[in-house]
Structure 1
């Protein structure tokens, strides 16, 4: 009987175990007594294995522990927060409140290999901003207390100041496990952008080389974040720019799928009234050291130039016939080729590693955007401008239904930019935001305005941005085939809603046995059916935006997930206080769900009923799952 029942796992994937299983598949001779024989693996690798203890890399105190933090499974879940959501039933966007290390683990099951782009703006480790401490104990309690970020009164305890020692190590121990988990989520042609200042730039670059591979480094963008010139007599070098490190999940796959382009820039005009519209021009003469074809060209003024030109003579003559060649200086100058704005705009242009504030925005512009939305000042410190994120999304080459993830959401500029770009070009990109409910400073403008946490403020930014975009782009939006999605489903990170899973993996066997004996019910009393259902869906690998509904069958209440055709993909019975009858189970099977989920305690110890359900599901080709 048990062979036909699928048991929902209590925690997220165990990457150490999965890695061992993959090694066993590729190199079974390296497995001895169920364990990896490291020496045998070295023999198999032969010259590909490094025998030396000396090697190039980035090492710091706590690195091994940080790696274990990424690999350690969690029983944490995400609880639906419908009250703080916008357009829950229709939206495909997500906002998650919680510690991003745990959230990234929860996302692994469904979103592994499904995120096209990640952008993060983590703490820069300036000594003033908070850096998550080196605390990797499993089990949440409340995640604010779990991360030791605030005391019982909700006040922030500390920042990562240089006087505390292991200044850089603390920061690396925070970012390293998060990057390991983030890489897993990217599609094969996915890309990650990370904003960083000078303080940790060098360490982050080496860390990314290790996590993503040096061959997947795509570039380091220098973004001029301010347009005014600093005049600080205490500094030798004034800071006007910061860095954006760019890595691909797989550079070959990225190039194969096509890299993103930026909108065309430059000045265009139409002095000769060309019916093809505005144009600019570039020299037909080849620069020094470049290849081309040598031949003579006679200008309208009679000048004869024999030079090395960009294309062959027949190509030049074809362009000349098509009025694509101009001769400046009254027809006496060197020929130049017309470039029409309409033609170049379709192709866009490649990015460079220098982002100017005129095109990509500035911190001042980002601040103004927030002030305009909230009609208040000082709510966020140095928010990124939407121009910057819009262009990064373009570079990421995101199209319909592609997902961008930001797990240091902050002011939710990434969400705002995604919605705005969708309105501009008609696409339907999706976004996932993750933000810790870090308390706003007690006397801050945000606290005075009624926002007690950054996550509250962040969600409100998305709401207001969506409404403004609907107003600003009303004409374009009226022509869309599908409505612009400006909503989001809100979730909160919490410990599992199932009592039997609320046990740390390092709990001694005798304590674990006692815990199981004391259990009376599977689910917590304060957990709603929606809480239970979302957790079970996540642990089975479903997304956070499934079409969830309610249905009554044979007098019983069920939660459902519908597929794209409106058929029942998942049917779940979650009331452990009401044991279904055999006739009711038969009627349930008649609804032909693809998958049926039932809590173990719903049987209330009736093994005969359980056996009958197995046979009913088997006969009707229904997957049976229990928890």
Structure 2
């Protein structure tokens, strides 16, 4: 019967065990007595393995511990927060309040390889405090202690003064496990944009090379965000920050272009029956331009000026054209013979310049029916990226108040999303701050009718006493971010009603809010030296599936669905079947009975099975120890081809 009943896992995936299982499948000979034989693995890799004494890499105190923090499973879950949500029943957007290290672990099950783009603006290492639990080895327990503020010291901070010996190490230890987990979430063509200043730029690039692979660091953009420069800097007036861009795979990565300005469009001054175009030389320039570099790309092209025709064979009246530079040095064409033959009738032209004939490709202003875009440059210089623009916008949204001092410019993140994600992508930001990324997603969708979705993660960092945010009633930065999303959505809705024309496009302006909590199901978590009376009480408490903090059916279902691999935006509704109150997921694809206090009858369960869901979930304690009832339900499900899960 155990093979016919699936048990919901109590923790997230154990990444160390999963990696060992993958090694066992690839190289079974390296597994001995259930463990990885490292020496055997070295033998098999042989020449591919680096010298353990002299090798290149980024090393710092605490690195191994930081890696273990990423691999350690968690019992944490996400609890629905209906009160702080907007359009819960229809939205596909998500806002999560909690420590992003734990949240990233929870997202692995469903969102693995589903996130097209990640944007993060992590804490800059400026000699101040990180508002993150300082002992992530304990993971969720330390996080909960911090958020509840029950320790004697008040909120726990990881102090990182620049006078401390582990100044850079502390920052790297915070970033390393988060980037490791984030990479798993990216699609094969996914990219991540990381905002950073010069304090950790060099270390971040080396860290990213290790996590994503050196070849997958696509580039660094210098964003001029203060054209005047910061006058209080010691040697140079800093005028810029950086965007480091990495990919899951540089071979599959997609980076789009920006809309062309009027000056660029004016370059397309020629026109034929197809479109406007400009001429680009067919002879290769730049690297690998010599004939010896690509000998197969050196060949004569014959052109008949009277007819405007090209050929690879000499005919009467044709001129021979070779890929020669102005000094007569032999080069090569950018097209091979097959490409030349396929495109010579419509995509080539030739002109005589200074007594020498040149062949040109018609670079068209339209590509696949859309205006040609411009490849992003490595310097972004525009007043819209100025740091002051972010503060002005949030002040405008909050009716003249500024509840968050350092919001990122909206245009910066909009432009990053525009080139990094398609119109149907999921965009993740796990250092959400004031919620600028969510605002950018909503704004872009409103502009082009896209269906981008966001996932925002923000630590419930308390707002300072006496601050503007606290005066406005926001006890945490997460509160500020949620309110900003609501205000931005309201403004976009008003603009649409005022004449913003997107046809029949429906813009998702809501979000589901969740909070990070410990599991709603009891678990064994007592120390060996526990007092006997406490141990007895804990054993009594374990009789029930759900914890003593009165988790609701929605709380339980949310955790079960997450641990079974469902998304955070499944359509859920209460249904009654034969007197039983159940939850229906995806219009009945999944049915869940979550009342451990009322034991169902076999006839009631038979009626539930007759609803023919693909999966049925029943709390283990709903059977109240009746193994016969459980066995009968298992047989009913088996006869109908229904997966039976317990929790």
Both structures adopt the same fold (TM-score exceeding 0.5): yes
Q: Does 1:365 align with 2:398?
A: no
Aligned in 2, Cα 1:513/1:449: closer, same or farther, shift over 3 Å? closer
Structure-1 residue corresponding to 2:329: none
Structure-1 residue corresponding to 2:379: 354
| Cα distance in 2 for residues equivalent to 1:295 and 1:616 | 78
Aligned in 2, Cα 1:156/1:38: closer, same or farther, shift over 3 Å? closer
| Cα distance in 2 for residues equivalent to 1:263 and 1:31 | 54
Contact 2:256 2:418 in 1 (8 A): yes
Match of 1:574 among 559, 581, 594: 594
Deviation at 1:337, TM superposition (A): 11
TM-score (norm 1): 0.86
What's the CA shift string for 1:549-584, capped at 9, x where partnerless?
11011101001101xxx4x11111111110001111
Structure-2 residue corresponding to 1:607: 627
Deviation at 1:159, TM superposition (A): 3.9
Deviation at 1:458, TM superposition (A): 0.2
Contact 2:133 2:142 in 1 (8 A): no
| Cα distance in 2 for residues equivalent to 1:584 and 1:386 | 54
Contact 1:151 1:157 in 2 (8 A): no
Structure-1 residue corresponding to 2:610: 590
Q: Does 1:554 align with 2:578?
A: yes
| Cα distance in 1 for residues equivalent to 2:131 and 2:543 | 40
Contact 1:79 1:494 in 2 (8 A): yes
Structure-2 residue corresponding to 1:300: none
Contact 2:161 2:167 in 1 (8 A): yes
Structure-1 residue corresponding to 2:553: 529
| Cα distance in 2 for residues equivalent to 1:63 and 1:319 | 55
Q: Does 1:52 align with 2:52?
A: yes
SS of equivalent to 1:92: coil
Aligned in 2, Cα 1:553/1:352: closer, same or farther, shift over 3 Å? same
| Cα distance in 1 for residues equivalent to 2:225 and 2:414 | 15
Match of 2:506 among 461, 465, 483: 483
Structure-1 residue corresponding to 2:311: none
| Cα distance in 2 for residues equivalent to 1:273 and 1:170 | 58
User: After superposition, where does 1:61-72 map in structure 2 within 5 Å?
Assistant: 61-72=61-72
Counting matched residue pairs gives: 599
SS of equivalent to 1:198: coil
Contact 2:282 2:334 in 1 (8 A): no
Contact 1:144 1:150 in 2 (8 A): no
Structure-2 residue corresponding to 1:620: 640
| Cα distance in 1 for residues equivalent to 2:71 and 2:459 | 21
Structure-1 residue corresponding to 2:121: 121
Structure-2 residue corresponding to 1:218: 218
Aligned in 2, Cα 1:244/1:55: closer, same or farther, shift over 3 Å? same
Q: Does 1:443 align with 2:466?
A: yes
What's the CA shift string for 1:410-459, capped at 9, x where partnerless?
01111011111111111101000000110111122212222111000000
| Cα distance in 2 for residues equivalent to 1:225 and 1:110 | 37
Q: Does 1:112 align with 2:112?
A: yes
Structure-1 residue corresponding to 2:492: 469
Structure-1 residue corresponding to 2:14: 14
Match of 1:261 among 251, 257, 261: 257
Structure-2 residue corresponding to 1:301: none
| Cα distance in 1 for residues equivalent to 2:216 and 2:64 | 23
Deviation at 1:482, TM superposition (A): 4.0
Contact 1:94 1:488 in 2 (8 A): yes
Contact 1:87 1:488 in 2 (8 A): yes
Deviation at 1:53, TM superposition (A): 2.5
| Cα distance in 1 for residues equivalent to 2:345 and 2:636 | 79
SS of equivalent to 1:409: coil
| Cα distance in 2 for residues equivalent to 1:541 and 1:320 | 53
Contact 2:133 2:156 in 1 (8 A): no
Aligned in 2, Cα 1:20/1:53: closer, same or farther, shift over 3 Å? same
SS of equivalent to 1:394: helix
Structure-2 residue corresponding to 1:455: 478
Contact 2:623 2:630 in 1 (8 A): yes
SS of equivalent to 2:523: helix
| Cα distance in 1 for residues equivalent to 2:84 and 2:16 | 36
| Cα distance in 1 for residues equivalent to 2:35 and 2:285 | 63
Contact 1:134 1:174 in 2 (8 A): no
Structure-2 residue corresponding to 1:237: 236
Structure-2 residue corresponding to 1:246: 245
Aligned in 2, Cα 1:571/1:20: closer, same or farther, shift over 3 Å? same
Deviation at 1:228, TM superposition (A): 3.0
Aligned in 2, Cα 1:625/1:158: closer, same or farther, shift over 3 Å? closer
Deviation at 1:340, TM superposition (A): 8.0
Deviation at 1:513, TM superposition (A): 8.4
What's the CA shift string for 1:228-286, capped at 9, x where partnerless?
34333x611111101111110111122xxx4322221352569999999x999788899
SS of equivalent to 1:96: strand
Match of 1:395 among 419, 427, 430: 419
| Cα distance in 1 for residues equivalent to 2:269 and 2:97 | 58
Aligned in 2, Cα 1:539/1:163: closer, same or farther, shift over 3 Å? same
| Cα distance in 2 for residues equivalent to 1:294 and 1:441 | 75
Structure-2 residue corresponding to 1:135: 135
| Cα distance in 1 for residues equivalent to 2:473 and 2:4 | 53
Query: How large is the Cα RMSD of the aligned pairs?
Result: 3.7
Aligned in 2, Cα 1:11/1:261: closer, same or farther, shift over 3 Å? same
Aligned in 2, Cα 1:154/1:570: closer, same or farther, shift over 3 Å? farther
Aligned in 2, Cα 1:126/1:5: closer, same or farther, shift over 3 Å? same
Aligned in 2, Cα 1:129/1:137: closer, same or farther, shift over 3 Å? closer
| Cα distance in 2 for residues equivalent to 1:345 and 1:249 | 27
| Cα distance in 1 for residues equivalent to 2:530 and 2:236 | 59
SS of equivalent to 1:375: coil
| Cα distance in 2 for residues equivalent to 1:271 and 1:455 | 48
Q: Which runs of 5+ in 2 are unaligned?
A: 291-297, 306-320, 327-332, 336-340
Aligned in 2, Cα 1:187/1:508: closer, same or farther, shift over 3 Å? farther
Q: Does 1:74 align with 2:99?
A: no
| Cα distance in 2 for residues equivalent to 1:286 and 1:43 | 49
| Cα distance in 2 for residues equivalent to 1:133 and 1:156 | 6
Deviation at 1:480, TM superposition (A): 3.8
| Cα distance in 2 for residues equivalent to 1:462 and 1:259 | 27
Aligned in 2, Cα 1:318/1:338: closer, same or farther, shift over 3 Å? closer
Structure-1 residue corresponding to 2:330: none
What's the CA shift string for 1:325-367, capped at 9, x where partnerless?
9x9xxxxxx9999988777962211111111124x52211111
Structure-2 residue corresponding to 1:542: 566
SS of equivalent to 2:454: strand
TM-score (norm 2): 0.83
Moved more, 155-164 or 462-471: 155-164
Moved more, 144-153 or 241-250: 144-153
| Cα distance in 2 for residues equivalent to 1:356 and 1:294 | 45
